[in-house]
A and B are shown apart, each in its own frame.
Chain A
Amino acid sequence: MGIARDVIKPVLAGFGITARRLKHKKVTVNYPEELREQYPRTRWRHYLTRYESGLEKCIGCSLCAGACPARCINVVAAENTDEERFSPGERYATRYEINMIRCIFCGYCQEACPTGAIVLRKNFELADYKREDFVYTKEMLLEKYPGESDEPYVGVYQKRERELLGK
Chain B
Amino acid sequence: MPTKIETIVLHDSSTPILGDVQKGGNVVITSLETLLSQARANSLWPLTFGLACCAIEMMSTVASRFDLARFGSEAFRATPRQADVMIIAGRLSKKMAPVLRQIYDQMPEPKWVISMGACASSGGVYNNYAIIQGADQVVPVDVYVPGCPPSPDALIYGILKLQEKVKRHTARNLGDLRLTEVHAPRHLEEVEA
Contacts and interface: CB of A to CB of B under 8 A. Distances in A.
A131 B144 contact: yes
Contact of B144 (A35, A69, A105, A128): A128
Nearest to B159: A127
Given A29-B66, A102-B118, A124-B157, A129 B146 contact: no
Given A27-B65, A129-B142, A131-B122, A104 B148 contact: yes
Contacts of B67: 28
A158 B192 CA distance: 27
Contacts of A35: 153
B193 A130 contact: yes
Nearest to A157: B160
Contacts of B150: 124, 127
A126 interface: yes
Contacts of A29: 65-66, 153
Contacts of A130: 192-193
B64 A125 contact: no
B122 A99 contact: yes
Interface string A101-115: 111111000000000
A28 B71 CA distance: 13
A32 B122 contact: no
B73 interface: no
Interface in B134-179: 134, 136, 141-148, 150-151, 153-154, 156-158, 160-161, 165
B125 interface: yes
Interface string B35-75: 00000000000000000000000000000111100100000
Contacts of A78: none
B145 A27 contact: no
Contacts, number: 91
Given A28-B66, A99-B122, A103-B118, A127 B154 contact: yes
Interface residues of A, number: 30
For this complex, into which size category does the number of interface residues on chain B fall?
A: 20 to 34
Q: Which of A35, A101, A124 has the largest count of B CB atoms less than 10 A from its CB? A: A101
Nearest to B69: A28
B121 interface: yes
Nearest to B148: A104
Interface in A52-98: 69-71
B127 interface: yes
Interface in A14-54: 27-32, 35-36, 44
A131 B160 CA distance: 18
A129 B114 CA distance: 9
A103 B66 CA distance: 24
B146 A103 contact: yes
B110 interface: no
A119 interface: no
Contacts of B80: none
B123 interface: yes
The 8 nearest A-B residue pairs measured at CB: A104-B148, A129-B193, A127-B158, A101-B121, A101-B122, A127-B145, A124-B154, A70-B125
Interface of A: 27-32, 35-36, 44, 69-71, 99-106, 124-131, 134, 156
9 contacts: A29-B65, A35-B153, A69-B125, A102-B122, A104-B124, A126-B147, A127-B144, A127-B154, A130-B192
